[in-house]
Amino acid sequence: MTLNSWRAAAGISALAVLVCISGVAAAADKDLAARVDRVLADTPLIDGHNDLPWEIRDRYAGAVGAVDLKSDLSRLAGPKGEAPLMTDIPRLRAGRVGGQFWSVWVPSNLNGFEAVQTTLEQIDLVRRMTARYGTDLEMAYSAADVRRIHHSGKIASLIGIEGGHQINNSLAVLRQMYDAGARYMTLTHSSNTLWADSATDAPAHHGLTPFGVEVVHEMNRIGMLVDLSHVAPETMTAALAATAAPVIYSHSSARALVDHPRNVPDDILHLVAANGGVVMVNFFPAYISNDWDQWDADRTAEKARYSTPPFGGLYIGQPERAAAALAAWDLAHPKPWGTLAQVADHIEHIRNVAGIDHVGLGSDFDGIPEGPAGLEGVDKYPALLEELMRRGWTDADIAKLAGGNVLRVMAATEAVAAKLRGTRPASEAINPPAARP
């Protein structure tokens, strides 16, 4: 054989090997996809947190008919140039979503009666949205509802309140929110309430006040899930000590991997396991990528250096120069992207520390500016499950992560409420109204 003939034969052999490897990989991927399909046919994939309702309010003044959720919206910018939505029905279907907790968040700077009214308007928006797309969505209020709706081929719509400020320090309002359909409440959002400390505010109570403990007890009594995303570690500890039911974290990740205050420390993960709760992992790059978190902090500081109203900043009163300087910084410091693999790392860490029964999915889609590469929208959940299967997760493990764990927590919370049904409802408010003469 001549040298050229040998090289040609070697090249053909190498190509054949590459084709063979590619074929094996494609067959393996097809097998993983089939496994995901089998798991999600029986167990609904339940996401703990999606902010689409606020995006509809903010972009379209709450008009659920102003945007067609039956269309693929992945390339449609908002009316003010906002990034495309991360959620629509075709992508929910592609993502094999079986149940979605829709957040009825309102900003932390809304307080008092305005916060209550806006929350009720957001609950109404979810119910109107679900009714409008009734061939695909159906309201759910219990674990049994979610399973029934999933088996019917629809997506269960559930409601979560994202901040204790939304009840205006009133247990009566809390009860009315439950009656209106809310099935979890996050004890705080980004700021403290008068009765609980937030993870992203200066400590005021070092956990829960006595009234905060009463809020947790009343949530147990009526059957509302206690959500500890957004709260400070001391608040987590106090709530876990106070609750008679398992807790959830609707959208939080592992602090041991990314030291962000929105994530859950390992010592708390052990308490969650003892409580029977579930941590539903957030997809926001700031919470799952150290590089992204550091880049974002550096960029925020750089932006402030150029223009810090009313007195500071290199280019105060010169917005064009400030914008140009920030653009130059961006060019010199490209944004590092979070990845699907990093989300899988957080899921695995929580499983390793707390156990397979205590981890779930809480994307925060449409409440975050971007998802990690590979998890840009609600159609991407199967890719995440396939990644975990490649890491050795069994079908039973995937079923627990996808929805089995949160369904167990919901059922346990309902059972606690059934036991407490005969107890007297709490009537205390943090600032009770003055008695009338």
Out of 47, 49, 88, 205, the active site residue is 49
Is 162 tagged catalytic?
yes
Is 151 tagged catalytic?
no
Out of 150, 205, 251, 260, the active site residue is 251
Buried b (16+ CB within 10 A) or exposed e, 243-261: bbbbbbbbbbbbbbbbebe
Is 51 tagged catalytic?
yes
Secondary structure (3-state) at 111: coil
Out of 150, 205, 230, 346, the active site residue is 230
Is 320 tagged catalytic?
no
Alpha-carbon distance 382 to 401, whole Å? 12
Out of 189, 205, 260, 358, the active site residue is 189
Out of 88, 162, 197, 387, the active site residue is 162
Residue with tokens 């309002």: 173
Q: Residue 254 has which token pair? A: 């592992």
Distances (CA, A) of 409 to 275, 276, 361: 10, 7, 14
Alpha-carbon distance 45 to 342, whole Å? 20
Out of 51, 218, 227, 366, the active site residue is 51
Q: How many CB atoms lie within 10 A of CB 275?
A: 21
Is 251 tagged catalytic?
yes
Question: How many Cα atoms are found within 13 Å in the side-chain-facing hemisphere of 188?
Answer: 29
Q: Helical H runs in 61-209?
A: 89-94, 112-132, 143-151, 171-179
Q: How many CB atoms lie within 10 A of CB 81?
A: 6
Is 364 tagged catalytic?
yes
In order, the DSSP letters of 300-343 are HHHHHHH-BTTTB-TTTT-HHHHHHHHHHHHHHSPPPPPBHHHH
- The answer to whether 87 and 136 are in contact (CB under 8 A) is no
Out of 364, 366, 387, 397, the active site residue is 364
Alpha-carbon distance 235 to 198, whole Å? 8
- What is the 3-class SS of 189-214, one letter each residue? CCCCCCCECECCCCCCCCCECHHHHH
DSSP state of 46: E
User: Could you list the active site residues?
Assistant: 49, 51, 162, 189, 230, 251, 364
